Amino acid sequence: MIQLSNIHKSFGKTEVLKGINMQVNKGDIISILGPSGSGKTTLLRCINFLEKANEGSIAIDDIALDVKHATKKDIVALRKKTAMVFQSYNLFQHKTVLQNITEGLVVVQKKSEKEAIEIAKTMLAKIGLEHKADAYPSALSGGQQQRVGIARALALNPEVILFDEPTSALDPELVGEVLDVIRKIAKEGITMIIVTHEMNFARDISNRIVFMDGGVVVEEGSPRDVFNNPKHDRTKQFLRRLTPEYTYEI
């Protein structure tokens, strides 16, 4: 479904991604783990061209692009296959919750306002915020704002949802409500790539774990393999610091 081949990305003289290869199958839930600065968020942003990689190719379903030669039309077509949930919510502060969700449906997908409102209300019911349709983001908690961000992504009916550390900006007591919503939609078979520092969540929800460090994929495998029997010393070191209660199987 998604094929990333030899993805390189530099900012000035700093090489952030050093030839990433990754395959994502339909229905996969992949959690990308790694220390800060490892290239996780940059990789996510390169998938939908929020950042343009310097080299490599990206394919999503029937759209395959060489990043060096991708036209604006190609990029728009690929972006329609994806939706992104940002760590800082990225809601329009001057628009209501309902308007935040309908905006992309009307402007990008050219749906009628009536159809867009129906879809938005359905998505708000799914995340338990239908009673906040007319509220503005400033009146919502961080957890509620992030749930609106998830509803906005779901409303676009994308092939894959990209989550960029969806709980990192939240107070600890608000993390659970967002993770519960992601767990709920995961049961619907939606393909998801999640950059996260929530180790227990990643282990529980994912069918594959990808560990990145220094701009490369160091290790990948099932949650059981990566968490309980990591092969690489760098993975072991990372997990010991974040999950000291776990011991590795021999």
At 81, the amino acid letter reads K
Both structure tokens of 154: 């779901």
Chain-centre distance for alpha carbon 39: 14
Mean pLDDT of 34-62: 95
User: How do 216-221 and 29-33 pair as beta strands?
Assistant: unpaired
Mean pLDDT of 167-193: 89
Cα–Cα distance, 211 to 208 (Å, whole number): 10
Q: Which of 38-42, 206-210, 238-242 has the lowest mean pLDDT?
A: 238-242
9, with CB counted inside 10 A (0-12, 13-18, 19+), is buried
Cα–Cα distance, 94 to 96 (Å, whole number): 7
72, with CB counted inside 10 A (0-12, 13-18, 19+), is exposed
- Is 179's pLDDT higher than 60? yes
With cut-offs at 50, 70 and 90, classify the pLDDT of residue 45: very high
Q: Which of 4-8, 11-15, 198-202, 241-245 has the lowest mean pLDDT?
A: 241-245
Residue 224's pLDDT is what?
94
> How confident is the model over 29-42, as pLDDT tens digits?
999 999 999 999 99
> How confident is the model over 94-143, as pLDDT tens digits?
999 999 999 999 998 999 999 999 999 999 999 999 999 999 999 999 99
Both structure tokens of 12: 């000035």
With cut-offs at 50, 70 and 90, classify the pLDDT of residue 250: very low
Q: Which helix (H) or strand (E) element contains residue 18?
A: strand 14-24
Residue 14's pLDDT is what?
95
Homologous superfamily, domain 1-81+161-167+192-250 = P-loop containing nucleotide triphosphate hydrolases (3.40.50.300)
Cα–Cα distance, 158 to 155 (Å, whole number): 8
Going from N- to C-terminal start, the domains of the chain cover 1-81+161-167+192-250
Better pLDDT: 243 or 238? 238
One-character DSSP codes across 127-173: TT-GGGTT--GGGS-HHHHHHHHHHHHHHT--SEEEEESTTTTS-HH
Better pLDDT: 50 or 250? 50
Q: What is the dihedral of CA 190, 195, 197, 203, to 10 degrees?
A: 40
